A and B are shown apart, each in its own frame.
Chain A
Amino acid sequence: MSSKATTLYSVKSVIAEDLVKTYDGGKVRALDGLTLDVSEGTVLGVLGPNGAGKTTTVRVLTTLLIPDSGRATVAGIDVIKEPEKVREVIGLSGQYAAVDETLTGWDNLIMFGRLYHLSPKAAKQRATELLEQFSLTDAAKRPIRTYSGGMRRRLDLSASLIVKPKILFLDEPTTGLDPRGRQEMWGVIKSLVRGGTTLLLTTQYLEEADHLADDIVVVDHGKVIARGTSDQLKRQVGGERLEIVAAANDLAQVKEIVAKVAGGNVSVDEGIRQVSAPVTTGSKALIEAARQLDDLGIHPLDIGLKRPSLDDVFISLTGHVAEEQKPEEGGEIKARGRRRKK
């Protein structure tokens, strides 16, 4: 997964250089010198909290917004100088379902197909294919407003794939979806990626970036503050930790063993009865610790090696957690309100 992204001579499908976009006479810096690129055939995850500049970035790259300064190309085409050419090679699926809710799924796909200048016959054929591909055939003749959140997103996504775009932009494709809808969406996105689509995906879910992206940029306050594969980013924060949870009266002995195995630097959290320490020898340390515990007849409640999560990465990079807004009912409305401000 990561090898593709780090190839030196890869072709860049998307390049953004030093993008700046300010609002309210320069008081709000939505983009503050943002730079990123996406190699052909890979997935770039743009990760950041609400208001970090993710949507603004997507809007610039998809020609919806003109930046104050900076340069951007998509498939080698300048987004500021030749926006109409860019529109021919991209697909965009927004934070909330940008389809006509009063129309049926079928109506929508035909409409967008015709707007991509397919013939009526070709538009119908493509609509049939897409509905099939996204498991929406049964719902094709129902108005979108009767769809579940996940179905809506799938239809929205399918509308952006009508002419098989070279580069696909997905702006928070799972925000506001329930866990099941999110799983479905992930499955759909993964199968697209297997098909070789170049994808730029924004998300505020660390798990999602970890799951879908080859390469991740972490964005905060309109700037990229870190970049790498998920593994590289995790390594930046530190290596593995040995973590053992044990009964309260065993903690002292456990601490001793961990200190021996890990070579010092042990921390104990009495509250959750956890002993942990950074280790460099991986599973060897784990096995050694387990053996010594067993010799003493101590049976821990939990024992394992923990690699840092992207959450840890985010906190160590920005000093705050990534998720400022919990996914919940009405999440879309909030997202909408936020977008208005921008």
Chain B
Amino acid sequence: MSHAISDALVITKRQWLQLIRVPEVLIFSTIQPVMFVLLFRYVFGGSISTGIPGVDYVQLLMPGIFVQTVAFTLAGTAVGLAEDMQKGLIDRFRSLPISRGAVVFGRALGDGLLNIVVLFVMGLAGFLVGWRPDSGLFKVMLGFIFLLFFGFAMAWIGILIGLSVRSARVANAAVFIAVFPLTFLSNAFAPTTGMPKALQYFAEWNPVSTMVAACRELFGLQNIFGVTANSWPSQNPLEMSLIYMVLLMAIFVPLSIRKYVNVASK
């Protein structure tokens, strides 16, 4: 068991070494969310009404962008694993006397930790364009820790996708199709109250939305919900998000490990 943990950490360390050897990956993966911050802040932001007097759009936007970015890191997870499969690295790992979950766990952890850097840069960018959370340092930090856990939980979806597709290119496309609707059919960028009623149910109970709502709460903002305003998930977004994370992992961790063990052993 102690080997299981140290094996996983070796894999995590491998990812950090990769970032050091090819720093462009990290640079570009932080530039993209920063571009999103600028785009929504200055291009769309002026036309989106927050519905809350005295609150700028940027205050609502930043939690949304944080969650979106963290959710999308599973793309890197999926693509990275698909590449490892293609190159035969997964075969080599599987021929080693290491524990069954070590490679996938190490990968999820590595990608989860990568979000520390990404969130830090984004937080800085947000601050520069006027983001000012006013709930106090403790709650803001709690919000970021919450985001890191969400990224770790989401990474497991990426692991299953990465081990299931035939190539890295397919992995990228598959992730986009899975994550894009989740992040845009949500309250991340615009209030859900403007959406058709049927869509509001999906958009407001979507895990991305409860995460965004939870972060807004932790950053000292008020949430506005449409049709689901009186429901438990909308009133307790923090708890609901935690449930979602546990559910995600309860489903995807065993599936991912099983996939890893049986991969190509069909």
Contacts and interface: CB of A to CB of B under 8 A. Distances in A.
A65 B88 contact: no
Interface string A105-138: 0010001101111000000000000000000000
B10 A114 contact: yes
Interface in B212-266: 264-266
B97 A96 contact: no
A99 B91 contact: no
A101 interface: yes
A102 interface: yes
Contacts of B177: none
Interface stretch (B15-23, B41-49, B146-154): B15-23
A66 B265 contact: yes
A87 B97 contact: yes
Interface in A152-174: 159
Contact of B89 (A92, A100, A116, A143): A100
Interface residues of A, number: 34
B95 A115 contact: no
A94 interface: yes
A62 interface: yes
Contacts of A298: none
B21 A64 contact: no
B94 interface: yes
Contacts of B97: 84, 87-88, 116-117
B264 A65 contact: yes
B166 A95 contact: no
A215 B216 CA distance: 70
Given A59-B264, A116-B97, 6 more contacts: A65-B264, A99-B89, A99-B92, A111-B14, A115-B7, A115-B10
A40 B114 CA distance: 47
Q: Which of A95, A100, A115, A116 has the most CB of B within 10 A?
A: A115
A96 B87 contact: yes
Interface residues of B, number: 26
Contact of B21 (A59, A66, A104, A340): A104
A64 B264 contact: yes
Nearest to A159: B92
Contacts of A233: none
A99 to B, nearest CB: 7
A117 B3 contact: yes
Interface of B is mostly: helix
17 contacts: A23-B266, A59-B264, A64-B91, A64-B94, A65-B264, A84-B97, A92-B95, A98-B88, A98-B92, A102-B18, A102-B22, A103-B18, A103-B21, A111-B10, A111-B13, A115-B10, A143-B21
Contacts of A4: none
Interface string A324-342: 0000000000001000100
A115 B94 CA distance: 11
Contact of B14 (A64, A96, A103, A336): A103
Interface string B82-93: 000011110111
The 8 closest A-B pairs by CB, nearest first: A98-B88, A98-B92, A87-B97, A92-B95, A88-B97, A114-B10, A94-B88, A102-B18
Given A64-B264, A102-B21, A103-B17, A112 B88 contact: no
A90 B92 CA distance: 11
Contact of B265 (A65, A112, A115): A65
A203 interface: no
A13 interface: no
A41 to B, nearest CB: 22
B98 interface: yes
Interface in B68-105: 86-89, 91-98
A175 interface: no
B93 A115 contact: yes
Q: Which of B6, B10, B97 has the most CB of A within 10 A?
A: B97
A276 interface: no
A95 B88 CA distance: 9
A42 interface: no
A88 B97 CA distance: 5
B85 to A, nearest CB: 10
A274 interface: no
A64 B95 contact: yes
Contacts of B6: 114, 117
A23 B93 CA distance: 24
A39 B95 CA distance: 22
Contacts of B21: 102-104, 107, 143
B86 A100 contact: no
A100 B96 contact: no
Contacts of A197: none
B87 A98 contact: yes
B96 A116 contact: yes
Nearest to B2: A117
Contacts of A100: 14, 18, 89
